Amino acid sequence: MKKNLILGAAISAALLAGNAQAITVDANNFPVFDTSSAGDTRVVYMSGASAAGTFIEKVLTGAGVAADQICDVSQPIWKFKDNIDGATQKAYLCTQSTTATGLTLATGKANLLIYKRDEGGSGYGVSPIIAEANGDVAGSTIEFLKIDSTNCTGVVPAAAGTLTNITCSYTTGAAGNNVLVVPDVGVSDVDPAQFQQANAPFKTDNTTVFPNVTTADVAKLTVTPGAAVVFGVPATLHLYRALQGAQLAMGTIPTTGRNNDNTGDVTCAVGDVTNQVCMPSLSKQEIASLIKGDWVNWNKLMVTIPGVTTPLGLAAWATANQAADAPASAVTHICRRENGSGTQAQLNNFALNYPCTAASSATTPATGNDGINGNTLNKTESSLVALIHENSTSGRVTACLKDLNLGVDTASDGFTNPYTSGTAPKTFRWAIGAQALEKKDANFEFVKINGVAPTLANVVKGTYLDWFENTFQYNTTHARFSEAGLKTTIDAIIKAATVPAVMGSINSGSGLSHGFGNGAYLANPKANTPVTTGIFNASLPVNPYSHTPAAATALDNCRAPVTYNKSVAGL
571 pLDDT more than 90: no
Res. 96: pLDDT tops 90: yes
Rounded to an integer, the average pLDDT of 54-67 is: 83
- 191 vs 424, residue with greater confidence: 191
CA angle 108, 152, 160 (to 5 degrees): 55
pLDDT at 432: 98
Residue 4 pLDDT exceeds 60: no
Res 531: pLDDT: 65
Residues 498 and 247: beta-carbon distance below 8 Å = no
Handedness of CA 157, 158, 164, 168 (dihedral sign): positive
Rounded Cα–Cα distance for residues 197 and 215 (Å)? 15
492/70 Cα distance (integer angstroms): 8
pLDDT of residue 9: 33
CA distance linking residue 418 with residue 408, whole number of Å: 8
Average the pLDDT over 73-96 and give the result. 92
What gap in Å lies between CA 523 and CA 492, rounded to an integer?
Answer: 16
Buried b (16+ CB within 10 A) or exposed e, 180-217: ebbbbbbbbbbbbbbbbebbbbbbbeeeeebbebeeeb
Q: How confident is the model at residue 213 (pLDDT cuts 50, 70, 90)?
A: very high
- What kind and span of H or E run contains 446? strand 444-446
Of 17-21, 60-64, 81-85, 380-384, the poorest mean pLDDT is in: 17-21
Q: Are strands 517-518 and 513-514 parallel, antiparallel or unpaired?
A: antiparallel
Nearest to 522 by CA among 534, 508, 540, 535: 540
Residue 95 has pLDDT above 70, yes or no: yes
Per 3-state DSSP, the chain is made up of helix, strand and coil in percentages (nearest 5) of 25, 25, 50
Give the Cα separation of 360 and 345 in Å (integer): 18
Q: What is the pLDDT of residue 22?
A: 76
Mean pLDDT of 124-148: 96
pLDDT at 1: 37
**Residue 3: is its pLDDT beyond 70?**
no
Asked which of 54-63, 268-277, 352-361 is least confident by mean pLDDT, the reply is 54-63
- Confirm if 272 and 280 have CB atoms less than 8 A apart: no
Separation CA 433–CA 413 (nearest Å): 16
376 vs 387: CA distance, rounded Å: 13
Number of neighbours of residue 404 by Cβ within 10 angstroms: 30
pLDDT class for 106, splitting at 50, 70, 90? Answer: very high
CA dihedral defined by 296, 299, 301, 307, rounded to 10 degrees? -160
Q: Which residues pair with 43 in a beta bridge?
A: 113
Please state the three-class secondary structure of 193-227 as a single string: HHCCHHHCCECCCCCCECCCCCHHHHCCEEEEEEE
End-to-end CA distance of the chain: 48
Mean pLDDT of 229-235: 97
Closest by CA to 279, choosing from 436, 517, 448, is: 448
Which of the two residues, 527 and 364, has the higher pLDDT score?
Answer: 364
What is the spatial distance between Cα 544 and Cα 532, in angstroms, rounded to a whole number?
8
Work out the pLDDT band at 372, boundaries 50, 70, 90. Answer: confident
Highest mean pLDDT among 189-203, 239-253, 531-545: 239-253
> Looking at residue 7, what is its pLDDT?
38
Q: For position 440, what pLDDT does the model report?
A: 92
Per-residue model confidence (pLDDT) at position 157: 76
Q: What is the pLDDT of residue 454?
A: 97
Residue 386 has pLDDT above 90, yes or no: yes
Alpha-helical regions (H) of 192-341: 215-218, 237-250, 284-291, 314-321
Average pLDDT over residues 220-236: 95
Structure confidence at residue 296 (pLDDT): 96
What is the pLDDT at residue 62? 77
Smallest CA-to-CA distance from 205 within 120, 88, 85, 126 is with 120
pLDDT tens digits for 450-486?
A: 999 999 999 999 999 999 999 999 999 999 999 999 9
Over the chain, what is the mean pLDDT?
A: 90
Q: Can you give the pLDDT at residue 375?
A: 81
> Would you say residue 388 has pLDDT above 80?
yes
pLDDT band per the 50, 70, 90 thresholds, residue 21:
low
Q: Residue 179: count other Cβ atoms within 10 Å of its Cβ.
A: 15
β-partners of residue 234 are 446
Determine the average pLDDT of the residues in 357-367: 88
Instruction: Please tell me the predicted confidence (pLDDT) of residue 229.
Output: 94
- Average pLDDT over every residue of 299-322: 94
Q: What percent of the chain is modeled with pLDDT above 70?
A: 95
What pLDDT is recorded for position 567? Answer: 60
Q: What residue segments make up the domains of the chain, in order of their start?
A: 16-232+468-563, 234-461
